[in-house]
Homo-oligomer: A and B are copies of this chain.
Amino acid sequence: LSNVEANLSRFGLSLPITAPAMAKYSPVIVQDATAYLSGQLPREGDRVVVTGTVGRDVSVKRAREGVVISLLRGLAALKAELGSLDRIQRILKLNVYVQSAPDFFEQSVVADAGSELIYGIFGELGGHARTAVGVAQLPKNAAVELDLVAALQPTGR
Protein backbone atom coordinates (compact mmCIF):
# COMPACT_ATOMS: atom_id res chain seq x y z
CA LEU A 1 0.00 0.00 0.00
CA SER A 2 1.16 3.51 -0.76
CA ASN A 3 1.49 5.94 2.12
CA VAL A 4 -1.53 7.77 0.78
CA GLU A 5 -3.63 4.64 0.98
CA ALA A 6 -2.31 3.88 4.44
CA ASN A 7 -3.43 7.35 5.48
CA LEU A 8 -6.82 6.82 3.87
CA SER A 9 -7.30 3.67 5.88
CA ARG A 10 -6.71 5.67 9.06
CA PHE A 11 -9.87 7.58 8.14
CA GLY A 12 -11.75 4.35 7.47
CA LEU A 13 -11.62 5.03 3.74
CA SER A 14 -10.32 3.09 0.80
CA LEU A 15 -10.08 3.57 -2.93
CA PRO A 16 -12.88 2.25 -5.07
CA ILE A 17 -11.76 -0.92 -6.80
CA THR A 18 -11.93 0.29 -10.33
CA ALA A 19 -11.73 3.62 -11.98
CA PRO A 20 -13.96 2.96 -14.98
CA ALA A 21 -12.66 4.00 -18.34
CA MET A 22 -14.41 6.87 -20.04
CA ALA A 23 -14.88 6.75 -23.73
CA LYS A 24 -14.60 10.35 -24.76
CA TYR A 25 -11.74 11.65 -22.70
CA SER A 26 -9.12 10.54 -20.21
CA PRO A 27 -9.59 10.43 -16.45
CA VAL A 28 -6.01 11.63 -15.97
CA ILE A 29 -3.43 13.29 -18.22
CA VAL A 30 0.19 13.39 -17.13
CA GLN A 31 2.52 15.89 -18.74
CA ASP A 32 6.03 16.26 -17.37
CA ALA A 33 5.61 16.46 -13.59
CA THR A 34 1.98 17.54 -13.60
CA ALA A 35 -1.21 15.46 -13.56
CA TYR A 36 -4.56 16.84 -14.66
CA LEU A 37 -7.60 15.04 -13.25
CA SER A 38 -10.91 15.16 -15.14
CA GLY A 39 -14.07 16.24 -13.38
CA GLN A 40 -15.14 13.57 -10.91
CA LEU A 41 -18.71 12.91 -9.90
CA PRO A 42 -19.68 11.06 -6.71
CA ARG A 43 -20.05 7.71 -8.44
CA GLU A 44 -19.95 4.18 -7.21
CA GLY A 45 -19.33 2.10 -10.28
CA ASP A 46 -21.35 3.72 -13.01
CA ARG A 47 -23.98 5.18 -10.75
CA VAL A 48 -23.93 8.71 -9.33
CA VAL A 49 -24.85 8.16 -5.69
CA VAL A 50 -25.21 11.72 -4.43
CA THR A 51 -27.70 13.52 -6.65
CA GLY A 52 -29.85 16.59 -6.22
CA THR A 53 -29.50 20.19 -5.24
CA VAL A 54 -27.54 21.13 -2.14
CA GLY A 55 -29.52 23.32 0.21
CA ARG A 56 -32.80 21.96 -1.09
CA ASP A 57 -32.86 18.17 -1.32
CA VAL A 58 -29.27 17.42 -0.33
CA SER A 59 -27.87 18.34 3.08
CA VAL A 60 -24.45 19.85 3.64
CA LYS A 61 -23.45 16.63 5.38
CA ARG A 62 -24.44 14.51 2.42
CA ALA A 63 -22.83 16.90 -0.05
CA ARG A 64 -19.60 16.63 1.94
CA GLU A 65 -19.83 12.85 1.66
CA GLY A 66 -20.25 13.34 -2.06
CA VAL A 67 -17.04 15.35 -2.17
CA VAL A 68 -15.18 12.56 -0.38
CA ILE A 69 -16.59 9.94 -2.75
CA SER A 70 -15.60 12.07 -5.74
CA LEU A 71 -12.11 12.63 -4.40
CA LEU A 72 -11.60 8.92 -3.68
CA ARG A 73 -12.68 8.16 -7.20
CA GLY A 74 -10.21 10.71 -8.47
CA LEU A 75 -7.44 9.20 -6.38
CA ALA A 76 -8.30 5.78 -7.80
CA ALA A 77 -8.01 7.22 -11.31
CA LEU A 78 -4.67 8.77 -10.44
CA LYS A 79 -3.43 5.48 -9.02
CA ALA A 80 -4.52 3.65 -12.17
CA GLU A 81 -2.51 6.10 -14.26
CA LEU A 82 0.52 6.56 -12.02
CA GLY A 83 0.91 3.07 -10.57
CA SER A 84 1.18 4.42 -7.04
CA LEU A 85 -0.30 7.43 -5.33
CA ASP A 86 3.08 8.00 -3.73
CA ARG A 87 4.17 9.46 -7.04
CA ILE A 88 2.02 12.48 -6.15
CA GLN A 89 4.05 15.17 -4.44
CA ARG A 90 1.09 17.38 -3.65
CA ILE A 91 -2.18 18.77 -4.90
CA LEU A 92 -1.65 22.16 -6.51
CA LYS A 93 -5.24 23.20 -7.13
CA LEU A 94 -8.62 21.75 -6.25
CA ASN A 95 -11.79 23.00 -7.96
CA VAL A 96 -15.12 22.14 -6.36
CA TYR A 97 -18.47 22.70 -8.07
CA VAL A 98 -21.59 22.48 -5.91
CA GLN A 99 -25.06 22.14 -7.48
CA SER A 100 -26.73 24.72 -5.31
CA ALA A 101 -30.18 25.97 -4.35
CA PRO A 102 -30.70 29.71 -4.96
CA ASP A 103 -30.30 30.52 -1.26
CA PHE A 104 -27.40 28.17 -0.51
CA PHE A 105 -24.08 29.90 0.06
CA GLU A 106 -22.07 27.35 2.06
CA GLN A 107 -20.13 25.99 -0.90
CA SER A 108 -16.93 26.46 1.11
CA VAL A 109 -18.14 24.16 3.88
CA VAL A 110 -18.92 21.48 1.30
CA ALA A 111 -15.54 21.87 -0.37
CA ASP A 112 -13.79 21.73 3.01
CA ALA A 113 -14.52 17.99 3.11
CA GLY A 114 -12.16 17.54 0.19
CA SER A 115 -9.54 19.89 1.55
CA GLU A 116 -9.57 18.15 4.92
CA LEU A 117 -9.09 14.78 3.30
CA ILE A 118 -6.17 16.12 1.25
CA TYR A 119 -4.51 17.39 4.41
CA GLY A 120 -5.25 14.08 6.08
CA ILE A 121 -3.51 12.03 3.43
CA PHE A 122 -0.71 14.34 2.31
CA GLY A 123 0.22 15.66 5.74
CA GLU A 124 2.79 18.44 5.68
CA LEU A 125 2.42 18.72 1.92
CA GLY A 126 -1.36 18.89 2.19
CA GLY A 127 -1.56 22.58 1.36
CA HIS A 128 -3.37 23.28 -1.90
CA ALA A 129 -5.03 26.18 -3.65
CA ARG A 130 -8.78 25.87 -4.00
CA THR A 131 -11.78 27.41 -5.68
CA ALA A 132 -15.36 26.52 -4.78
CA VAL A 133 -18.37 27.80 -6.68
CA GLY A 134 -22.07 27.05 -6.82
CA VAL A 135 -23.42 26.02 -10.18
CA ALA A 136 -26.90 25.55 -11.50
CA GLN A 137 -26.62 22.01 -12.88
CA LEU A 138 -24.07 19.26 -12.89
CA PRO A 139 -23.90 16.25 -15.20
CA LYS A 140 -26.25 13.41 -14.17
CA ASN A 141 -27.80 15.68 -11.54
CA ALA A 142 -24.74 15.14 -9.36
CA ALA A 143 -24.72 17.22 -6.19
CA VAL A 144 -21.00 17.94 -6.51
CA GLU A 145 -18.16 17.67 -8.97
CA LEU A 146 -14.45 18.26 -8.50
CA ASP A 147 -11.25 18.28 -10.48
CA LEU A 148 -7.65 18.95 -9.56
CA VAL A 149 -4.11 19.49 -10.73
CA ALA A 150 -1.35 17.59 -8.93
CA ALA A 151 2.43 17.89 -8.89
CA LEU A 152 4.31 14.61 -9.22
CA GLN A 153 7.50 13.68 -7.44
CA PRO A 154 10.57 14.73 -9.31
CA THR A 155 12.21 11.69 -10.83
CA GLY A 156 15.87 10.79 -11.11
CA ARG A 157 16.88 12.70 -8.06
Contacts and interface: CB of A to CB of B under 8 A. Distances in A.
A59 interface: no
Contacts of A135: 133-136
Given A36-B93, A93-B36, A29 B127 contact: yes
Contact of A93 (B24, B29, B97): B29
A94 B135 CA distance: 18
B129 A147 contact: yes
Contacts of A82: none
Nearest to A26: B127
Interface in A9-56: 24-29, 31-34, 36-39
Given A24-B116, A112-B24, A138 B134 contact: yes
A118 to B, nearest CB: 8
- Copies of this protein in the assembly total 3
From A92, A97, A111, A136, name the one whose CB has the most chain B CB atoms within 10 angstroms.
A136
Q: A interface, how many residues as a size bin?
A: 35 or more
A129 B28 contact: yes
B104 A137 contact: yes
Interface string A116-156: 10010000000111111111111111000101010100000
Nearest to A145: B133
A105 B25 contact: no
